[in-house]
Structure formats: structure tokens, C-alpha cells
Structure 1
Amino acid sequence: MRHDDYVTRTRVERERHIRCDPVVHMPTTQRWDGPLGEVALSDFERDGFLSFEGFFSEERMAPFFDELDEMGRDEDLLRQDGVIRDPKSGAIRSVFDMHRISQRFDELTRDPRILGMVRQLLGGDVYIHQSRINDKYGFQGAGFDWHSDFETWHAEDGMPRMRAVSASIMLTDNNEFNGPLMLIPGSHHHFVPCQGTTPDDNWKSSLKAQEAGVPSQSNLQALVNRGGIVAPKGRAGSLLLFECNTLHASNSNMSPWPRSNLFFVYNSVDNALEQPFAAETPRPSFLANRDHPEPLEMQDPLGMPFRRSA
């Protein structure tokens, strides 16, 4: 029986505990071998995220939003399992496997500025564990309950260690009214086990409304009392990097303005998926890449690959 530092999805409630993995994985002697300075690295270690207002220009983002609009009219695509509809309106909630669907999105995952930061944080080569668009139409986009991505990926996908980072790029303006992502600073330092076993094929319902893998209110209250809640906002093109164990959520969109964000999940090549730790069967590949692909190579904005030095 394999050892598990992050036991979760149990019948009885378990206490939260300090994580067993570092937050920044680059060895100390190579800590500054990347675009992030000591202040940014320290902020990421302390808070579990970094926010960059206007990282890309709004003009750079416009074609991606147009592509999302085209997807909404593609009947064949809409019938695929990787397209999740809003439980109330039926509008697109999420489209998964974006880096395989769209060459434009695939190239964006290899942007040297993002990839450089991610490699620095994760201590080496990475691949795409998951990619998706989360979309909230005006007046109708449903929210996402509080959760740790790692808890789900560990329980249902078999991700062994906390060695992954999500990059969220705002395709539309994110403001206080249209359901921005909310995070609990410092929550990534604790692993919060969740009570209740994983239902069979849980992903079919959890992507619309999550129930399994939601922390208890007492744990959420304690962590919010310590770290508060922040909601990084910004115009289209802003970037948010957040650690895989940082607790986050979002409210429904009560405004007339859409909120569309693109997510790439980078996982270390040394953190390949195993069998799920708290589910009978792994989730589909569009949710959890099990192909063990080659490490991502950097690509400049013109689509030309960067060559690594020997």
C-alpha cells in the first residue's frame, strides 16, 4: 500500500495540516535563475499567487475571445464531453483541452515570459496537465465553490505532490461585479482534507456544481480569519499565477459584462500522475493529461521556438 501525505475524501473529518512540499521548488543555489526576483518569489511563497496587471495587451487577447465565440456556434464541439454547460442557462461554462483544440492557445502556453516563471517556481521542466476556458455570461454565469485544485487532482487524478501552478489569463476585464476569482492568501500552506467519498464519474456533475472536495466551513473560516480574501482584478490581458493548493472560488456573474478567463495548468515532469488516491478510476484525459508528453519548449510571439543552450 503506497504512502499518502495528503489523505482526503474520508468518511470522517480529518484535521488540516501543514503541507509536506516546498512552495518554490527551484534549489536554493539556482533560486534566481529565472525572471522572478526575490520579492516576487517571497510573495508567492507567502500568499500562494502573483498578479500581473496588463501582462498582455488587450489587442493580443481579442482573437482568443473571438475564438471562444466561434466555439459557441460549433455544434460538434458543443456535444463533446470536454465542453461543460452552465447548470442554469445551458451556456458554455468551460471548454477543456484548449491547447489541443486551438493552435493559438497552444502557442500561448509556451510564451517565454510565463514559461520562464513557471519553470522557476516548479524547479525545472513542465508540461500541460490541463487547459480550459472558464466563461461567465452576463447575468447568468454560475460561480465555483471554494476548493483546492490539488485536492481534486490528488484525489481524482493521482497527482502525487504539490508541484503544479495555474496560469489564469483574463480574456475580458475582471471586475468586482462579474464574478472574479477569489483567493485566500496563505491557504496553500495547509492541506485541508475533505470529508465524503468520491462518487463514481464525479467529474460529470462536479464540473457544473462541485460537492465532493469542498472544504468544511470551519476550515474555511479559520483560514480566512488568518489570510483574508482577495480578488485580483484587471483589464483583459492581465495574468494571475497561483499555486495548486491555494484555496479559491468565484461568485456568480450578476453584472451585464461577461467574464472569460483562460487557464493553463503546468505540472512538473517529475510529478507525473499515478492512480487516483481517492477515486476508483482516473478522470478523462481532457481533464488530466496522462500521456507524459515532452517538456514544453518556449515559443516567441511570432511562433518560432527558442533553442535551449547546450
Structure 2
Amino acid sequence: MGTDTTATPHVDAYPTRDKASALTESPRQDPVVWPGGPPGPLSPAELDRYGQRGFHTAEQLLAADEVSAYLDELHRLRTEPSLRDDERAVREPDSDEIRSIFAVHEISPALARLAGDARLVARARQILGSEVYIHQSRVNYKPGYGGNGFYWHSDFETWHSEDGMPRMRALSVSIALTENLPTNGPLMIMPGSHRFFVACPGSTPPDHHRQSLRRQEIGTPGPAAVRRLADRHGIAQITGPAGSATFFDANCMHGSNSNITPYERANVFIVYNSVENTLTEPFAAPGRRPEHIASRTFAPVSSGPSPR
């Protein structure tokens, strides 16, 4: 395990919430594809497209037997008695059903192997231009007949405000362990929205994560900002077969609908942050979020060879 090497506090490059001015939207100040990174599997054309759109999907990155094994692990975790009252398990806003489980790479050896898989880590290093560590990992469950959605938001706005992430030098990987259909609440991204920072209204209350992880309100843009971004960039649905992985920039405006179909949607999310972008104190919150949501162990991921 690494040590807490929290970065020296930075000037707030992205004021938001009660620190925001009247200007709610401003140009991004950081690269999207960072220079100086190690070589990796993404071609120059793929990196350029990632820079323009803010996301890249690797179709069927995992083989069918891997998908089956990981999906079994997700189902096991969801029914694990020891997690029922664990703060890492987040409930649906309107029921007692588990919505998400955080720090899954620490709970599950199988998901730890996935988080360190060279097929994921090599792409993250290539895009972020450095070694990376795991800022956050989670499973999002969206069962059939009522899995709730996630409202439009930029992850970076939250990670900056509530975790103290200084710059836009992080990305998420969403690994689909079920088919992501247009109808079962797939990830939606506004392509190109990552090139603008949208400040959000409101003030962050203490222990905000207890509410926001179930239903986020503070840290979401106003309707006018959402409409402006959607009109400018459009909305892409991230669909595809199980085993696909979508890498997307921390500042992409994204969300998902509820799932009222019979077909479950289950995804694992791994968030990789540059070791040169470690957390300071929160920029717009009264205190740090728990370690299982925002890790302050900045040890670089040691990736082993991929099994394929």
C-alpha cells in the first residue's frame, strides 16, 4: 500500500457551488490527452477522437468467460450479508435495494484483478500521460423493472468540490457486464462537453455523500446549462455487448435513465487518477468524503499481464 502523499494545495482553477461567480460555464484549462505518456494500445486516431469527444469504447475487451465470472461476482456481492449494513453499499433512493457498492477493488480479489488489468491500465496511462492510481471503484446495479437513473453531472465537479481533485487529469472506465441496450438505461454522454467546466449552484452540506450517492441534487447543473450543452453537443448513448469498456474523461457531462425493461444492466466503474494530480483538501465542501469514495492512497497501479 502507498502512503498519503497529498499534493500541495493549488489555486482553485474551477470555482463552483458557493464559490462560483455569475459565469456558470468556462473553457477547460487542462489537456484531455496529456503529453509525455507511455505508449499504449490506442492509436493516434483513437487518441485524437478521444480528445474531441471525451470518450472511447473498446468493444468486447473482455472475453465471454471473463464476463460470466465477473457478473457472478457482482451478484455475489449484492447478496453478501456482511455488506448489507456496510457504508460502502448505497441504497436506492426509494427502496432498500442496493444501488451501488464502492471500493469493490478492496472488497473483492476478482475485481482487484480487473482494476489492475493491463488492458485497462495501459489505456489510462496513455491518456493521462503518467502512472495512475485508483481514485474510486464501484459497481452500479440497474436491475430490470425499476433500476433508478443518474441525473446529468460532471464527475470532476464533484471530485473537485468534495474530494479536492485539483485538475482534470482523471478518467473513468465503465465495464459492461451485461448488454447495454438503448432501452435499459445505458450511459449517456454529451460528446465534447468535457471541453467546458460547468459550475453548479448551491452549497455543499456536511456529509453530503450520504444523500448525493442515492439521489444527487447539489453538484448538478441547472436546466438551462443542460439544455445549452445538449443543443451544442448532442447526446450519445453508450450501448454494446457485455465485455465492452468505455473510457471517458472526468469532466464529461453524463447521466442515465431508469431501467423499466426486464433486462438488467450491471457495470463496474474504475476511476484512474494521475499520480501527479493527487487530492488536496476539498475546494467547495466542509470536509473530506470517506476513503472508500475518494482514496488518499496514491500508490501507482501495478498492472499484471492481461489474461488474453
Q: TM-score, normalised by structure 1?
A: 0.93
Query: 2-side partners of 1:295 and 1:2: how far apart?
Result: 22
CA distance in 1, matches of 2:66, 2:10: 46
Q: Secondary structure at the match of 2:18?
A: coil
Higher mean Cα deviation, 75-84 or 1-10?
1-10
| Runs of 4+ that moved beyond 4 A | none
1:140 alignment partner, one of 146, 151, 160: 146
Partner of 1:6: 14
The one of 215, 221, 227 aligned to 1:215? 221
Aligned partner of 1:74 in structure 2 is 80
1:155-234 to structure 2, matched below 5 A, reads 155-234=161-240
More divergent stretch after superposition (61-70 vs 175-184) = 61-70
Q: How does 1:81-96 map to 2 (within 5 A)?
A: 81-96=87-102
Give the secondary-structure state (helix, strand or coil) at the position aligned to 1:231. strand
Quote the residue 2:6 is aligned against. Answer: none
Write the letter of the residue equivalent to 2:130: G
**3-state SS of paired residue (1:140):** coil
1: CA distance, partners of 2:79 / 2:55? 35
Deviation at 1:90, TM superposition (A): 1.9
1:147-158 matched pairs, under 5 angstroms: 147-158=153-164
Q: Does structure 1 conserve the Cα–Cα contact (< 8 Å) formed by 2:119 and 2:306?
A: no
Gaps of 5+ in 1: 304-310
Cα RMSD (Å): 1.6
2:302 equivalent to 1:297: yes
Q: Is the partner of 1:284 in helix, strand or coil?
A: coil
Structure 2: gaps spanning 5 or more residues: 1-8
User: Which residue of 2 is the match for residue 307 of structure 1?
Assistant: none
How many angstroms does 1:302 deviate by? 5.0
Shift of 1:58: 2.5
Bigger mean CA offset, 246-255 vs 109-118: 109-118
Residues in 1 aligned to 2:24 and 2:268: alpha-carbon distance in whole angstroms: 33
CA distance in 1, matches of 2:171, 2:246: 10
> Take 1:299 and 1:109, find their aligned partners in 2: how far apart are those partners?
10
Residues in 2 aligned to 1:132 and 1:175: alpha-carbon distance in whole angstroms:
21
| Matched AA of 1:260 | A
- 1:72 CA drift (Å): 2.4
Aligned-pair distance for 1:69? 1.6
Residue of structure 2 equivalent to 1:25: 34
CA distance in 2, matches of 1:277, 1:239: 31
Q: Secondary structure at the match of 2:237?
A: coil
**Mapped pair 1:274 → 2:280:** yes
TM-superposed deviation, 1:140: 1.2
The answer to whether the Cα contact below 8 Å between 1:14 and 1:194 also exists between their aligned partners in 2 is no
Q: Name the % identity.
A: 44
Report the Cα distance in structure 2 between the residues aligned to 1:77 and 1:283, rounded to whole angstroms: 19
